[in-house]
């Protein structure tokens, strides 16, 4: 199957980055969000990043214009009716994702592959709400998408080999490195990363050290590019909490219990960089 027309659903930090890399790789991309404001923000962010790439000499002015011309924005999910591939990157909630996949199953052509960028939710369960579970798959990009090389490709129990191969080929076409993963809570990336972040939050909660000092230990002591609390703010504390809840429920093991301080911050609306406040202030 040739994939040429793509829709990315959700124009937040992940969706906008995913749309950008597809457009740069020569595909026609529709970026969708239910909020016009989020869509405008997503598209203007892509334009700025492409302009910066030209300034840095990483692409020509012509390449930048061509990439941006391949992108369009829409608030109508129905515009996926001519798409060969859809990548969903909306909020990390099973209810929301299931309703998006049910609608996509009705709207998109029969051959279309439906992929989700979920960080942790079961792909098998998302696939089961469609009439094409063999064409549903996890395509998990890392943040920031234009920079990070990895894509975890997660097979639902129903995913066909043809679907897997098409997504592996597409990942390579995007100049990213695929890793094949089975459908278990948190996959590989977040099963390992998120308990470390949660433990860093417990360290602050228990008064062992300040957020700055916890981050300094991991940056200077372990050579991490960002400390775990800076990274948590960057990912979004709501997303971190959703992922810990999926791990906790999925494995039934108390070692994955989300730190009460993380819950408190999310309840306060302190979601990290995207809301202006998390473990650090961004105002
Ligand atoms: N979007 C796009 N590009 C960005 C960016 C962003 N938000 N932030 C930085 N960049 C680009 C810069 O433009 C720059 O590009 P060039 O090399 O082309 O000039 C490059 O990244 C390096 O940026 P900086 O020099 O400004 O900053 P840095 O060296 O500190 O790197 C970083 C920034 C790449 C984000 C680095 O700090 C890093 O790797 N952090 C860890 C990121 C990480 O762990 N991501 C995974 C999160 S977990 C996940 O995604 C899975 C999940 O489900 C939650
Ligand atoms: P975000 O909050 O930045 O963006 C989500 C966007 O989806 C918002 O603009 C919202 O308006 C839109 N949206 C919500 N419901 C919608 C619907 N029904 N239809 C259309 N648009 C809708 O979130 P994000 O950080 O980009 O995360 C998106 C997904 O990617 C989540 O599943 C998350 O777990 C996953 N993910 C996040 C990261 C990360 O570091 N933040 C990394 C990898 C994967």
- pLDDT score for 1: 74
Evaluate whether residue 163 is within a structural domain: yes
Evaluate whether residue 36 is within a structural domain: yes
For 146-200, write each residue's pLDDT tens digit.
Answer: 999 999 999 999 999 999 999 999 999 999 999 999 999 999 999 999 999 999 9
Q: Is the pLDDT of residue 271 over 80?
A: yes
Residue 117 CB: number of other CB atoms within 10 A? 25
- pLDDT score for 178: 98
Contacts of 193 by beta carbon, 8 Å cutoff, 6+ apart: none
Instruction: Let me know whether 218 and 176 are in one domain.
Output: no
Residue 16 CA: nearest ligand 2 atom is: 26
Evaluate whether residue 283 is within a structural domain: no
- pLDDT score for 283: 87
Instruction: Let me know whether 235 and 130 are in one domain.
Output: no
Query: Cα–Cα distance between 99 and 258 in angstroms, integer?
Result: 26
- pLDDT score for 268: 98
- Per-residue pLDDT band at 85 (split at 50, 70, 90): very high
Instruction: Let me know whether 23 and 72 are in one domain.
Output: yes
Does residue 196 sit in helix, strand or coil?
Answer: helix
User: How many domains does the chain divide into?
Assistant: 2
Does ligand 2 come within 6 angstroms of the Cβ of 190? Answer: no
Instruction: Let me know whether 62 and 151 are in one domain.
Output: yes
Query: Cα–Cα distance between 114 and 127 in angstroms, integer?
Result: 9
Instruction: Let me know whether 198 and 100 are in one domain.
Output: no
Distance 139 CA to ligand 2 centre (A): 14
Query: Cα–Cα distance between 8 and 139 in angstroms, integer?
Result: 12
- Per-residue pLDDT band at 56 (split at 50, 70, 90): very high
The structure tokens listed for 169 are 């080929």
Alpha helices in the chain (DSSP H): 13-24, 36-55, 61-69, 94-107, 123-128, 161-173, 189-205, 211-222, 228-235, 237-251, 260-267
The structure tokens listed for 64 are 């930048």
> Mean pLDDT across the stretch 59-65?
94
Instruction: Let me know whether 168 and 210 are in one domain.
Output: no
Does residue 268 sit in helix, strand or coil?
Answer: coil
Contacts of 7 by beta carbon, 8 Å cutoff, 6+ apart: 29, 30, 31, 32, 79, 80, 83, 85, 86, 87
Residue 42 CA: nearest ligand 2 atom is: 9
Does ligand 1 come within 6 angstroms of the Cβ of 218? Answer: no
Give the ipTM of the model, two decimals please: 0.97
Sign of CA dihedral 8, 83, 108, 116: negative
Residue nearest atom 18 in ligand 1 by C-alpha distance: 53
Instruction: Let me know whether 29 and 114 are in one domain.
Output: yes
Does ligand 2 come within 6 angstroms of the Cβ of 117? Answer: yes
Evaluate whether residue 282 is within a structural domain: no
Instruction: Let me know whether 136 and 85 are in one domain.
Output: yes
The structure tokens listed for 129 are 């709400």
Contacts of 111 by beta carbon, 8 Å cutoff, 6+ apart: 1, 84, 135
Domain containing 46 — which CATH number?
3.40.50.720
Domain ranges, residue 178: 5-182
Does ligand 1 come within 6 angstroms of the Cβ of 143? Answer: yes
Instruction: Let me know whether 100 and 202 are in one domain.
Output: no
With the most atoms of ligand 2 within 8 angstroms of its CB, the residue from 90, 152, 269 to mutate is 90
Does ligand 1 come within 6 angstroms of the Cβ of 160? Answer: no
**Ligand having the closest approach to the CA of 99:** 2
Domain containing 257 — which CATH number?
1.10.1040.10
Does 281 qualify as catalytic in the annotation?
no
- Out of 182, 199, 222, a domain closes at 182
Query: Cα–Cα distance between 268 and 251 in angstroms, integer?
Result: 28
- Out of 154, 182, 210, a domain closes at 182
Instruction: Let me know whether 174 and 195 are in one domain.
Output: no
Instruction: Let me know whether 153 and 213 are in one domain.
Output: no
Instruction: Let me know whether 259 and 126 are in one domain.
Output: no
Residue 120 CA: nearest ligand 2 atom is: 34
- Out of 182, 216, 245, a domain closes at 182
């Amino acid at each position: 199957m040739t994939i040429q027309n793509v829709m990315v659903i959700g124009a937040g930090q992940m969706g906008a980055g995913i749309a950008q890399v597809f457009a740069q790789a020569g595909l026609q991309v529709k970026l969708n969000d239910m909020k016009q404001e989020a869509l405008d923000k997503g598209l203007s962010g892509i334009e700025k990043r492409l302009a910066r790439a030209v300034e840095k000499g990483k692409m020509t002015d012509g390449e930048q214009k061509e990439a941006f011309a391949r992108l369009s924005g829409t608030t109508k999910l129905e515009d996926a009716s001519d798409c060969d591939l859809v990548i969903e990157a909306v909020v990390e909630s099973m209810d929301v994702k299931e309703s998006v996949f049910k609608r996509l199953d009705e709207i998109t052509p029969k051959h279309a592959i439906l992929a989700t960028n979920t960080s942790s939710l079961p792909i098998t369960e998302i696939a089961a709400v469609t009439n094409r579970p063999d064409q549903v798959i996890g395509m998990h990009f890392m943040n920031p998408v234009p920079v990070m090389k990895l894509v975890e490709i997660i097979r639902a129990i129903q995913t066909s080999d043809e679907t897997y191969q098409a997504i592996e080929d597409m990942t390579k076409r995007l100049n990213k490195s695929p890793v094949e993963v089975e459908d278990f809570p948190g996959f590989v990336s977040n099963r390992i990363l998120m308990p470390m972040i949660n433990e860093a939050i417990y360290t602050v909660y228990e008064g062992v050290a300040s957020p700055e000092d916890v981050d300094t230990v991991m940056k200077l002591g372990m050579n991490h590019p960002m400390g775990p609390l800076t990274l948590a703010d960057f990912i979004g504390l709501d997303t971190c909490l959703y992922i810990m809840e999926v791990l906790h429920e999925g494995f039934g093991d108390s070692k994955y219990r989300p730190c009460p301080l993380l819950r408190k911050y999310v309840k306060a609306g302190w979601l990290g960089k995207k809301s202006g406040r998390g473990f650090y202030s961004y105002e």
